[in-house]
Amino acid sequence: MKWKDKLTLLHCIASDLQIIHSHGLIHRDLHSALNAVRREVYGILPYIAPEALNIGYYSTASDIYSFGIIMWEILYGKSVSYNLEFGSQLQIEICRNNLRPTIIENTPQCYINLMKKCWERDPINRPSATKVCEIFAEWLIDESILLELTKSDELLRNYVESTHNIQTYSDDIYKNSELKELNINE
């Protein structure tokens, strides 16, 4: 997928989130295989914000965390994986040790910065859907950013294709499942 298409896709997702949030709603289960909203901690582990995993607290910022994970997937063209089994240990690593997906060298800095802002531990420090929309709208018309993103494509593609040491999970693990709140004191 070309960068302009990636940015357009991300802009559309952020725009939809902006609409949801403007109505005082929270998606609570944003991931690349969307489905219905639940009241309990429910979803696909890598996409769930630390505050939701820890104490079951969801906010619009929780959706932004999930959006950052989708940014990672669109960038690298694969599902997020960690070198840990899904379960409470992975939940603890995400909540207590700030575990986030690995960022590959040669990833454009502007993209890294936005992903990391979306993954901030403190939900207050994450950008709003409106801000994310504004950033993507700017990037779509900024030739220097588009050039930076395009130049990184081949380096990233070669790295992703040669990487075999990242654990992958079966498709079943990416189906929604109910998770227990951890209540970790930070």
pLDDT digits (tens, 9 = 90+) for 17-59: 898 888 888 786 676 544 434 445 556 778 888 988 888 888 8
Chain centroid to CA 32:
10
In the structure, what pLDDT confidence band is assigned to residue 88 with cuts at 50, 70 and 90? confident
CB-side exposure of 170: number of CA atoms within 13 Å?
Answer: 2
Q: What's residue 176's pLDDT?
A: 45
Contact 76, 156 (CB under 8 A): yes
Q: What's residue 24's pLDDT?
A: 86
3 state DSSP class of 161: helix
pLDDT above 90 covers a percentage of the chain that reads: 33
**Positions of E strands within 9-158:** 42-43
Q: What's residue 121's pLDDT?
A: 93
**Positions of E strands within the chain:** 42-43, 177-178
CATH hierarchy code of domain 3-164: 1.10.510.10
0.95 exceeded by pTM: no
3 state DSSP class of 38: coil
